[in-house]
Amino acid sequence: MLLNNEDGITLIEILASITILFIVIATFFAFFTNAFQYNAMNSDSIKAVNIAREKQAMFKADPLMESALTRFIDNINDGANAADLSASSYPELMLAEAIQPPNPAETDEAKKSSYLLKMNDSKYKVFIYLKGNADFVTCDKSKSLYKVFVEVFQEDKKLTDTYTYFDYETNPSVSCPGL
């Protein structure tokens, strides 16, 4: 009686299956490596957006920052001098350096007529541009809206920017007709 058993696998079949398995694993490894890199970049971007939103909210919600920004607008409306642009004049704003006046040579229209406030942050550079004149004024001049442009950088790479408005209130000087 002759035994004829061919149920085993050959060496070529083993090598072919190992090669296919290696190609599949290499593809998944490349996919996960790219996913981790994208996740790291996205994490920095999300942090920058949150910092920009935090700075926006601080101007509106923090009474000390709101008061300091109101004082600054009072000063620029009265004709700001060098002392009015000093960082030490507004400690509540946590400025990294003196406020820079508008730069007419700036090519970006949003920045051309704006004061630059560089704020302290441990990892990011936060630039706040406050427009030098109001975008909207009520007829009795008791309220004005000033455009605020926030940029967040990491080293020299811009991560995000956003706009908001600062609600500047004064005492009404004239009453509105018909009110």
Residue at 57 is within a domain:
yes
CA–CA separation, 10 and 171 (whole Å): 93
CA–CA separation, 154 and 50 (whole Å): 14
23 φψ region: left (φ > 0), alpha (ψ -120 to 50), beta (else)? alpha
The predicted-structure confidence for 10-43, as pLDDT tens digits, reads as follows 888 889 999 999 999 998 888 888 888 888 777 8
CA–CA separation, 36 and 51 (whole Å): 23
State both tokens at 157: 């790479």
The predicted-structure confidence for 89-143, as pLDDT tens digits, reads as follows 888 888 888 888 888 888 887 788 889 999 877 888 899 999 888 888 887 777 8
The percentage of the chain sitting over the pLDDT mark of 90, rounded to a whole number, equals 9
Residue at 120 is within a domain:
yes
Residue at 47 is within a domain:
yes
Residue at 29 is within a domain:
yes
Residue at 20 is within a domain:
yes
Instruction: Give DSSP secondary structure letters for 115-137.
Output: EEEEEP-SSSEEEEEEESS-SEE
Helical spans, DSSP H, in the chain? 11-61, 63-77, 109-112
CB 169 within 8 A of CB 67: no
CB 65 within 8 A of CB 55: no
Residue at 176 is within a domain:
no
Residue at 102 is within a domain:
yes
Residue at 6 is within a domain:
no
Domain count for the chain: 1
Secondary structure class of 30 (helix, strand, coil): helix
**Domain range holding 126?**
11-169
Q: Which of 131, 99, 136 is CA-nearest to residue 117?
A: 99
